[in-house]
């Protein structure tokens, strides 16, 4: 944490100290939010920064003496404050001790009435807590029943239920159609087997042939 700024430099020629006569520096010193102590050169040296600063010290050493308090005076002030604080705290503690003793005596006299009041408060608090719990339980049950009724009457819930029923019916229909097609396939296979057994084509496939007459095209039944 910065409390103030010391702008200082040892003695020198006019050229050495000319930087402290610059307008830019003077404006910055004047615009500073922190206090600025100017201590440039010797006691006979003056710069524009001296007039823009909050305080001018003749030398850097003098600036240190101005901004730092005397250690002996500071120690004396600390001791005085310490003694004042001790006396204040001692008097306050004595007053608190006296009040505590008085309150303790008064509480001793009021102990029995206070105990009775505390018992009554405990009983009332217990009864109130039970009543609140019972009321909350009843309200929660009522709200749960109302929520069930709302869910049953909710169009979205009904649509979801109908959708699940349609999906189940579609699944059953597909299953029944599959079984029906499988039965038809097996029936067709059996019929095809029977037809194949009596078909002349199967006889020809076993190496037999059909011989026809040259004139009328009739079949030979005997050779």
Put the strands of the sheet holding 36-40 in their side by side order.
5-9, 36-40, 55-56
pLDDT tens by residue, 151-160: 666 666 667 7
Q: What is the dihedral of CA 121, 124, 125, 131, to 10 degrees?
A: 180
How confident is residue 216, by pLDDT bands cut at 50, 70 and 90?
low
User: By three-state DSSP, how is residue 38 classified?
Assistant: strand
∠ CA 27-30-33, rounded to 5°: 125
Percent of the chain with pLDDT over 70: 80
pLDDT tens by residue, 24-83: 888 988 888 888 888 887 777 788 888 888 888 888 888 888 887 766 777 777 788 888
Q: What average pLDDT does range 133-157 have in this prediction?
A: 78
Q: What is the dihedral of CA 194, 197, 198, 199, to 10 degrees?
A: 110
- Asked if 26 and 49 count as a contact pair (C-beta separation under 8 A), the reply is yes
Q: Strand runs (DSSP E) across 49-206, as ranges?
A: 55-56
- Asked if 66 and 54 count as a contact pair (C-beta separation under 8 A), the reply is no
User: By three-state DSSP, how is residue 169 classified?
Assistant: helix
What is the chain's mean pLDDT, rounded?
Answer: 79
Q: Which of 55, 221, 39, 36 is nearest to 47 (CA)?
A: 39
């Amino acid at each position: 944490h910065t409390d103030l700024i010391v702008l200082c430099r040892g003695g020198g020629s006019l050229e050495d100290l000319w930087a402290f006569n610059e307008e830019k520096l003077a404006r910055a010193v004047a615009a500073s939010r922190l206090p600025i102590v100017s201590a440039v050169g010797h006691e006979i040296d003056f710069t524009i920064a001296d007039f823009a600063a909050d305080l001018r010290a003749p030398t850097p050493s003098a600036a240190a003496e101005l901004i730092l308090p005397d250690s002996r005076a500071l120690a004396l002030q600390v001791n005085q404050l310490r003694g004042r604080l001790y006396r204040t705290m001692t008097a306050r503690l004595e007053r608190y001790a006296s009040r505590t003793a008085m309150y303790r005596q008064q509480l001793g006299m009021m102990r029995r009435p206070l105990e009775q009041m505390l018992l009554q408060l405990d009983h009332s608090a217990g009864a109130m807590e039970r009543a609140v719990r019972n009321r909350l339980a009843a309200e929660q049950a009522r709200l749960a029943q109302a929520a069930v009724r709302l869910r049953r009457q909710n169009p979205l819930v009904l649509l979801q239920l109908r959708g699940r029923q349609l999906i189940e019916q579609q699944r059953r229909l597909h299953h029944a159609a599959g079984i029906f097609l499988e039965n038809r396939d097996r029936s067709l296979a059996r019929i095809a087997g029977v037809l194949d057994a009596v078909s002349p084509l199967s006889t020809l496939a076993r190496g037999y042939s059909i011989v026809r007459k040259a004139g009328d095209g009739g079949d030979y039944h005997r050779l």
